[in-house]
Structure 1
């Protein structure tokens, strides 16, 4: 990389080189690249005045707006450690994330009240006038920015959903982001460049705290595209915002894709503008992937990655067209900069075709978990990351996933761990034992199902009361889809609870969305 500017230097240069083109579209509003650059400089000047700079921590809890994105980029330009705060954290988790080495927190009018009670001693900065907070947009635009991030400093602290009991922070360095194809066009292999060209009009939704959302937003903007923030018209964005705004590219969770396919079957919409749709976050059934390709055309990509490792592999339309019988059951081939090894429990490579745990090495791995050296040592060894996912590679280089070494469920593209839910349920006075397992679900990828042995001395508690109990402890994402009462738990030959046998007890209607299940995240 030589003397190339550090992150986000290439992005700032792209704004300066094309000031007249539109970066963001939100309703009738258009924010041109030159205006976005001026906004970033203004916010950076105010942040610098507040004492922020290399090594300082800045949490950002806002809605999805051009100003919010500008705040992220301004903090990065100053060399800060940026913590995107996900919506929906319970109060204790929010306080934990805000307290993870941050010096300030950025809010907007919609989030100020939520954050103020958990901010503690942090300085509160706002995007626009807000009582008790310094307005980052009130001052003049600052001077041109040079990327000040030190290569080995943490650029992004990406926290998990908190379903592990408390959120874990994955530390991504400035060096890693400088090597990432999303922000650095010279790092893009041809297959990624082809996909990125499809993001000329990118449907932006969700939260900027998501590395995946930011990854594809970067690919769009650096490539000269426009990020479209759709206005809510009461209809699902997939497919109706695609039709209304002429969207050419977006990302979609498996639930979003499946719901769109169902809607298109009953009420067709014109989605012919699509050129690239990246599906990620949870396993997609082969028959659903085939249906998506048949309905949408050769525009469907499938990605596999982790917060700890970034994007690991990608399945392309060309892969699907060339070897559909093999490609449809895979998550594609690893990116050129990514090495994948499949190893047994002793850490030995098992070779092509055999199943084992997937290990990954790449320039953009996390440097570790924030303030958690034991967990870091467990997953990072000799430059390799243990993904804790099981799979195999075939003779054509495709990666196939088969399960997880960890007891987890992937709900709406979020990892939900069984242990904390089991502990929460078992703490209820009406419960003697509780076990949790996941099962495939077309709308949420997978769903959480709880199996409860009621306390012997009293009637079984109300299922909705148990769901609310879990919600209060762990948040919406961990709420079980179903709660099944059992007199005792079947035991496997190993002596452990037999969760497969428990799942076999589910009623045929168990896949329906229960009254206690939280809303979809997007």
Structure 2
């Protein structure tokens, strides 16, 4: 029980309690203060009837109180259902239907529709300091549901147990690998942004908090987060998507010399772009490969560049990789037990990526899944095609992805018009946004009169992307 998630962090916060652990604007929160927030919220949650096995959806901004609320829910053993921003109503309702008994929000998200809503600020007004902090999480219970977009257009909840998170490479300082220990040292001032519902955010804030660093929550000053927040806050460590990295490289006059480790993840990056970034930023770049279902699988370190820049690095300790019929399968102590509401997996997760092991490095050769990585989010082509085809002006719809400097990859749609009605492209964009969310909206919609066919007999989407038709006055959405 001593190492069961989140005990190592609670133990760390109890030491040197006057040291800072979170900065939010001009506000500095000490370890003792964060631990006090966790203790008070845990007591209030227990008083509200929450406890081991209770399903609680969390929908908040990124604040010290929200971080404390997540940790308090895990301390008392709840099943935390992370709700990321941007869900359209149908997807939000789907997520909240997954065994959710209560929704925990901050005032910014108090309008979240549910029969039982608890507001963090109101819980903190209850009298008392919460008393002793008792951890009641149980190893086999589901600790977290983290969501993919889902191949049907509905988010799929990946279930991670307390035991799995307790064995996670980032959350166990007693057995940190050299790479994890290196992050802990480099994340002295770690940029915490985005959403606490993200599995990636959860695993990479761990080395900072457990290693004695400070999580810096930036305030919006109207400028791009990267690189200006790095200069303004003297950030030493952060995670970054490929599009943000591209934007960062376009502003060479900003001082980012404080950086010690910058983890690039979320979508493919070319070896040439990686080399360009390394030349500009120095030996601070790491590249991560993983999936929501499996967590972080492998990592490329600065020392691996440039010789292995065409790989996604070496698998983490305790992560096993098997190549079966060219596809990458993985297993580890900290991967999901299965999708919520579905049968558990057989011990291995098929990533649906094509790859090979070469000299200890994992090299990816493509995908078997028809997916597009938009702003580090997995977007499936199938649901977009089905939504587009439901429009009365569309007879057939095809969707493909292509590299994009702004979003990593972008969605491009090709539609054949119905005989009696030409499709209105603004309506198509609005339809996709309403049904699937903004990440799924095509960057271009091209009207075509026919679709090329591959030797397999299936529509050739690569040929569509490269055709002259795709370049002829595409509608930018």
Q: In which range does the TM-score fall when normalised by the shorter chain?
A: over 0.9
Q: Secondary structure at the match of 1:170?
A: strand
Q: Does 1:277 align with 2:244?
A: no
Relative to structure 1, is the Cα distance of residues 486 and 68 closer, same or farther in structure 2, using a 3 angstrom cutoff? same
Deviations 1:68-87 (A, max 9, x none): 01010000000110011001
CA distance in 2, matches of 1:136, 1:160: 32
Please give the residue correspondences for 1:355-374 in structure 2 after superposition, counting only pairs within 5 Å.
356-373=326-343
Partner of 2:246: 258
Deviations 1:277-333 (A, max 9, x none): 00001101111100110000000000001111111000001111xxx24x1111100
Relative to structure 1, is the Cα distance of residues 343 and 421 closer, same or farther in structure 2, using a 3 angstrom cutoff? same
Q: CA deviation at 1:162?
A: 5.3
Partner of 1:347: none
Q: Does 1:435 align with 2:398?
A: yes
Q: Secondary structure at the match of 1:263?
A: coil
Deviations 1:136-175 (A, max 9, x none): 4433221222322111110001122356321100000000
Unpaired runs of 5+ residues, structure 2, are: none
Q: Does 1:494 align with 2:475?
A: no
CA distance in 1, matches of 2:124, 2:468: 53
Please give the residue correspondences for 1:346-495 in structure 2 after superposition, counting only pairs within 5 Å.
356-373=326-343, 376=344, 380-381=345-346, 383-394=347-358, 396-458=359-421, 460-495=422-457
Q: Does 1:210 align with 2:198?
A: yes
CA distance in 1, matches of 2:206, 2:35: 14
- Which of 256, 275, 295 is the matching residue for 1:310? 295
Please give the residue correspondences for 1:41-60 in structure 2 after superposition, counting only pairs within 5 Å.
41-60=39-58
Q: CA deviation at 1:508?
A: 8.4
Deviations 1:68-116 (A, max 9, x none): 0101000000011001100110111111111211111111111112x0x
Partner of 1:108: 106
Q: Secondary structure at the match of 2:108?
A: coil
Q: CA deviation at 1:192?
A: 2.0
Q: Secondary structure at the match of 2:95?
A: helix
Q: Secondary structure at the match of 2:420?
A: coil
CA distance in 2, matches of 1:446, 1:483: 15
CA contact (8 A) 1:93 1:162 kept: no
Relative to structure 1, is the Cα distance of residues 54 and 220 closer, same or farther in structure 2, using a 3 angstrom cutoff? same
Partner of 2:148: 160
Q: Secondary structure at the match of 1:314?
A: strand
Q: Secondary structure at the match of 1:17?
A: coil
Task: Give me the TM-score of the superposition, normalised by structure 2.
Answer: 0.97
Deviations 1:248-279 (A, max 9, x none): 00000111111100122xxx011000000000
CA distance in 2, matches of 1:510, 1:196: 50
Unpaired runs of 5+ residues, structure 1, are: 130-134, 345-355, 517-522
Q: CA deviation at 1:180?
A: 1.0
CA distance in 2, matches of 1:300, 1:511: 38
Partner of 1:342: 323
Q: Secondary structure at the match of 1:258?
A: helix
CA distance in 2, matches of 1:509, 1:64: 40
Partner of 2:7: 9
CA distance in 2, matches of 1:511, 1:8: 53
Q: Secondary structure at the match of 1:128?
A: helix
CA contact (8 A) 2:181 2:207 kept: no
Q: CA deviation at 1:510?
A: 9.1
Q: Secondary structure at the match of 1:165?
A: coil
Deviations 1:27-47 (A, max 9, x none): 110110000000000000010
CA contact (8 A) 1:39 1:137 kept: no
The total of aligned residue pairs comes to 477
Q: CA deviation at 1:409?
A: 0.7
Q: Does 1:297 align with 2:282?
A: yes
CA distance in 2, matches of 1:137, 1:22: 23
Q: Secondary structure at the match of 2:429?
A: helix
Relative to structure 1, is the Cα distance of residues 490 and 175 closer, same or farther in structure 2, using a 3 angstrom cutoff? same
CA distance in 2, matches of 1:192, 1:511: 48
Q: Does 1:125 align with 2:118?
A: yes
Partner of 1:178: 166
Task: Give me the TM-score of the superposition, normalised by structure 1.
Answer: 0.89
Which shifted more, 17-26 or 40-49?
17-26
Deviations 1:226-250 (A, max 9, x none): 0111111111110111001100000
Q: CA deviation at 1:181?
A: 2.4
Deviations 1:179-229 (A, max 9, x none): 112221123111221122110000111000001111111211111000111
